[in-house]
Amino acid sequence: MNKNDYTPSETMAGSELALNILTRQEHSISRKRISDNALKVLYRLHGAGFDAYLVGGGVRDLLLGQTPKDFDIATNATPEEIRGLFRNCRLIGRRFRLAHIMFGRDIIEVATFRGHHQEPNNQVAQQSKEGMLLRDNVYGTVDEDAERRDFTINAMYYNIGTYAIHDYAGGMEDLEDQLIRLLGHPETRYREDPVRMLRAVRFAVKLDFDIEEDTAEPIEHLAHLLQDIPAARLYEESLKMLQTGFGLETYHLMREYNLFQQLFPAIAEQFTEDYSSKTEQMLDLVLDSTDQRIEEGKRINPAFMFAAILWYPLLAQAEKLMASHKMADYDAVMEASNIILDQQVKTIAIPRRHTATIREIWQLQLRLPRRNGKRAFRLMELNKFRAGYDFLDMRAEIEGGETELLAKWWSTFQNAGRNMRQAMANDLDSASPKPNRRKKNYRKKKSSSES
């Protein structure tokens, strides 16, 4: 269960949702399509006398005929009671207390039903003065939990006891109409958790749905609220948005709602009305490539994506440094890389292991043109050579000219045999102008025997 599914809303508190119960014969979900580990958790909770429901995206995706990425569970058991039932359980989270049931690498997330935080309760809840939820461990009933879900299509519960679906907010109807609709007053819900704006876009693209008019209307003018979200959380959200197979389309929709600009302010400075800048061309290229790799089951590295989309803002920053500080090209690029990455991690906390790779990819763009002698052979032995070359190849599509010629040279060099590679390196040496060195006469020192 995603932690963002159930932050509270004062507009929802005490409201009555129109519960619609679909019996086993009235829906398409079969237990055969639910993971064995999720069923084990559901049945053990039910057998111990607790309510147990499959919830949220798992129910939604099963109804759409898709295979859910996660099978999340909601129950009236407290986290401590859940831990008492499962030896393979660990409790996580401070803002939201959750139970993770571990089956090797498979994790089933179990959450206790959430209540309304403004009602008297022994648990703790806290909101900022802007309305953003800071902490919330208030437990309640399944009905209250449903009222606090984010979107109608995520407010459906599959009851393991009766095999019925409890639809609290017209989620089935919105599934049929292919609509992303917020529960409650949209502006209030976005202020409570601005990440909901990102989730609305992500679900719309992933499911090929439309965002319902009232749900969409406040997004553009509330987009700035994302600046108050912790950078570590936005890093995780950025990967969900851009590296799950729908990155290109998601980027364009995010940009339409002024969301992408909040996550990548340095990139937004390069935006044009006709999408013609090199930065915009690179965004389309790298995100389309990422989507294709995911579709083909190939590995992806977040560092490569960040290196690509930040490259032209980096060059723009380097040009400023060369003009203002009279710096050499290499020094300016190195200093600009520090500035751009320092700015970016304030918004999206890119882990250090990735920023190190980003720097290596950028440095290779400066080293790949220097191929004479043994340099080309040594470059190919570098750990990040392939990433650096792949990025050079993308740049070639955008820049053409010398960059394209350089990329073609490296493509030929990689695929050539040893003798051919040596001949290519020799050609570079013969074509390079020889340095004009002044001859010096050195007088040999006499040995002690000659003295």
Please identify every residue annotated as catalytic: 70, 72, 150
**Measured between alpha carbons, how far is residue 226 from residues 148, 200, 271, 321, 375 in Å?**
21, 14, 19, 30, 46
Beta bridge partners of 394: none
Q: CA angle, corner 258, sides to 252 and 261, nearest 5?
A: 85
Give the 3-state DSSP-derived string for 118-152, with helices as H, strands as E and coil as C. Answer: CCCCCCCEEECCCCCEEEECCECCHHHHHHCCCEH
- The whole-angstrom separation of Cα 215 and Cα 209 is 13
Q: Count CB-CB contacts under 10 A for residue 210.
A: 14
Write the DSSP string, 25-50: GGS---GGGS-HHHHHHHHHHHHTT-
Nearest to 78 by CA among 138, 163, 149, 167: 138
Amino acid at 28: S
β-sheet bridge partners, residue 227: none
Q: Report the chain's terminal Cα–Cα distance, integer Å.
A: 90
Number of residues written out for the chain:
451
Q: Contact 1/109 with Cβ under 8 angstroms?
A: yes
d(C-alpha 175, C-alpha 164), whole Å? 17
**Rg of the chain over all Cα atoms, to the nearest angstrom:** 28
Structure tokens at 332: 């300016």
Contact between 22 and 167 (Cβ < 8 Å): yes
Please give the Cα distance from 80 to 77 (Å, whole number). 8
Taking phi over 0 as left and psi of -120 to 50 as alpha, with beta for the rest, 139 belongs to beta
